[in-house]
Chains A and B, each alone.
Chain A
Amino acid sequence: MSTLAIHNGRVIDPALGRDGIADVVIVDGRVARVGPNEGDAVIEADRIDATGLVVTPGFVDLHVHLREPGFEYKETIASGTVAAARGGFTTVCAMPNTDPPLDRRAAVESVLRQAEEHAAVRVLPLGCITRERAGKELAPAGELAQAGVVALSDDGDAVADARLMRHALEYAGAFGLPISQHCEDPALVHEGQMHEGWVATRLGLRGRPASAEETFVARDIALADLAGAHLHIAHVSTAGSVALIRAARERGVRITAEVTPHHLTLTHEEVGFGSSGSHDAANGGGANGYRSIAYHSNAKVNPPLRSHGDVAACAEALRDGVIDAIATDHAPHAVSDKEIEFDLADAGISGLETALGLSMSLVHDGRIELPLLIERLTAGPVRAWSLDQHPGLEGLGTLAPGAVGDVAILDPDAAWTVTPEEFASMGKNTPIAGRELRGRVLATVYGGRVVHALEGVAL
């Protein structure tokens, strides 16, 4: 019998409405007891002193790219899940745009086997909506569900064919699988490289208009309504999308949604005027407002970073519950994929290790309460996809007795500097390198085992 006692932290467990000083006792990988001084009664245990810290259920991420198989030079299941652990995530849902893509049983089983052997935290794969992600024919949803996928997505691309999307929604419903759609109309996106707006005009880059996302959100809401199926909108990024989702939820359509930490906090100005890697000090420019530009490909992401109004609307929707979950869309890339011409550079941000720090800025400037933010990282995503209905995942996202023993221990006020070279992720591609964040995960417990602990944490 192995026992872990986490002493004297402020335990925030939104699903149970708990917020107070307590001990968390985990026995044989499952939560045994939570309450004041409960740990004192345990005689033989590993102990963590969480005095002055916040103790929450382990975070659940509905959207990560682990890149294995096929792109192991960008990330592996091993490296990506260590990055997850460092970010406080104990469950990550892995997108199927690997090579080969996860559009058949054998591919899913292979990922699950790799995860069993090498993953630091729980990996729940998604399957493809269409075969080969080609947007032409349905992938075998039933077979994929049996193999263990928790949702379907062609993420990276939208399913552009409306008829196929309708049938995908209808068909997946029979197997209880939500469909997570990357909403961007390829026709409107065309060759767009960043958000369409004044920054793109300044940089001479083609734009991806907000309407490219909004037309597909509107279309897919109508299709989900028609199909009576569960649609999940991945990485919501515009105020218009928020309004559409809000209205659809109000009239009872089964829509859930996620937003990334970067869409909650960063704007398209990062691309042209962000702080990292600028030439201007060398060019006699220096800090001169909007005088000097750069092309920060580490801020290139799809959907793109948007305007201040969009960022504000996303944050408000997260607070209101129109958006259920924070998901990172962790998209690691190699330097050789990023440090090239902007229009050739891959899109994506390595986000697992900065997720809490970035999101905490909403708490620090008073736009969301800490327990609600934690809800959107734990119970929110679990509820969105009913992940706790899967065998073995009872109580996921909470610290209820009997739940999986997954815990994040954080210091909401700890200031730290983003240093990509120190990321566990192989993807060093972050637009916020060198920036100071406030709020950090100090230790992570997965199934009762400590899988991440910063130096100096009292274990």
Chain B
Amino acid sequence: MTTETHETPGASAAPLLPGSGEPLASAPAPGPWRHRHVLDLDDFGADEIETVLELAGQMAEVLERRIARVPALRGHTIVNLFYEPSTRTRASFELAGKVLGADVLSVSASTSSVQKGESLIDTVRTLRAMGAGILVMRHASSGAPYLAARHTDAAIVNAGDGAHAHPTQALLDLYTMRRHFGALEGKRVVMVGDIAHSRVARSDLWGLSAMGAEVVVCGPPTLLPHGLRPGDRPEHAESALPFVEVETDIERAIEGAHVVMALRLQSERQEGGLLPSLHEYSLHYQVTAKRLARAHPDHLLMHPGPKNEGVEIAREVAGGGRSMIEEQVTNGVAVRMALLYLLALGRDAAAKAGEGAS
């Protein structure tokens, strides 16, 4: 690794984490934080993102301890409500909750068994009535966590909704990039692949533009969503999507990139008539060593996983020296710990103030 690693200020002291038995509400506020839910990064300010990333640095310290346990969330119940199968995100959240001493329960609900009438709202209210204060939710329907947030006073964390958002993935991506680059201002970040169906790309766009990065999305036109080019939107709505450069030529896109992120390509795209074949895709859009030679010498290679080696990413680069793919996974736990902590802190403060969330 030749990349310079920036230490997060204050990371070694971990002063914000209370010792065992101390009530969370007595901990000092770690920084600006206004959210009751984490649904996407579109309504996050750079200051709040900073708060999460700083705190995640301290959480990473905790994870490196021999006994990685801080009972900061003792007495809090976190339910992982997954309507879609997931291994890594679910495991990451479970671990994050457990390291912080919360009671963690994971519930798998299959969307196919969900009939209209036996509703998401009922399920969320039931889990809240059992004492869940934080609900981590993954759902195949875009917007499902927003529906849940309207009908419960539990904190909702979006762990991926349809093609819409995956804010915790975006925060761990930002954390990973910042660890290596310090500030993200002016850094060229290129996302390659199925932008249209990617919740990761959408959340990353918001997070990256809030932090001042220069964002490029690249893919075949059938996998690029409509309205991303600023001219596709009416003038009054120009700010309604992040400003991005849209490129269909991967060589041009990667030129000088500080970060290249390959997105997972689902084989359904071929069946849906969006692509001639996976082979054709890999010829024109696979992230390869040859293509990465055009990137900045200190570039990072990222992938939200799970990856299809040989399709969107070449095996030799996925396991190569610039690859952040495993580090992303490790960082995911720390970032999710930070988010759970901030949400729990907010809930305790609200309870203490006797405001009673509505």
Contact = CB atoms under 8 A, between A and B. Distances in A.
Interface in A174-220: 196-207
A204 B162 contact: yes
Contacts of A277: 150
Contacts of A343: 141-142, 162
Contact of A199 (B37, B39, B119, B227): B227
A308 interface: yes
Interface in A329-365: 336-337, 339-344
8 contacts: A198-B232, A198-B241, A199-B227, A201-B227, A204-B164, A277-B150, A295-B143, A340-B147
Contact of B36 (A283, A289, A292, A339): A283
B141 A341 contact: yes
Given A204-B202, A343-B142, A198 B37 contact: no
A279 interface: yes
Contacts of B116: 336-337, 340, 344
Interface in B197-256: 199, 202, 225-228, 232-234, 237, 239-241
Given A196-B226, A283-B37, A269 B42 contact: no
Contacts of A200: 225-227
Interface string B115-145: 0110111000000000000000001011110
Contacts of B95: none
Interface residues of B, number: 42
Given A283-B35, A290-B239, A308-B234, A201 B228 contact: yes
Interface of A: 196-207, 269, 277, 279-280, 282-285, 288-295, 307-308, 336-337, 339-344
Contact of A342 (B43, B143, B233, B237): B143
A337 B228 CA distance: 31
A339 B119 CA distance: 9
A344 B43 CA distance: 26
B157 to A, nearest CB: 12
A283 B146 CA distance: 11
Given A198-B233, A340-B116, 12 more contacts: A196-B226, A201-B228, A202-B42, A204-B161, A205-B142, A282-B149, A283-B36, A284-B34, A295-B143, A336-B119, A342-B143, A344-B141
B237 A290 contact: yes
B109 interface: no
B358 A203 contact: no
Contact of A292 (B43, B119, B142): B43
A204 B35 contact: no
Contact of B150 (A206, A279, A288): A279
Q: Which 5 A-B pairs have the closest CB atoms?
A: A198-B227, A204-B164, A295-B143, A284-B34, A341-B141
B163 interface: yes
B43 A341 contact: no
Contacts of A203: 142-143, 164
A285 B119 CA distance: 27
Nearest to A337: B116
Contacts of B257: none
B330 to A, nearest CB: 27
Contact of A294 (B34, B146, B237): B146
Contacts of A292: 42-43
B226 A207 contact: yes
A204 B165 CA distance: 8
B234 A202 contact: no
B149 A279 contact: yes
A283 B147 CA distance: 13
Given A203-B142, A343-B142, A289 B239 contact: yes
Pick from B43, B149, B165 the residue with the most CB of A within 10 Å: B43
Contacts of B42: 202, 291-293
Contacts of B34: 284
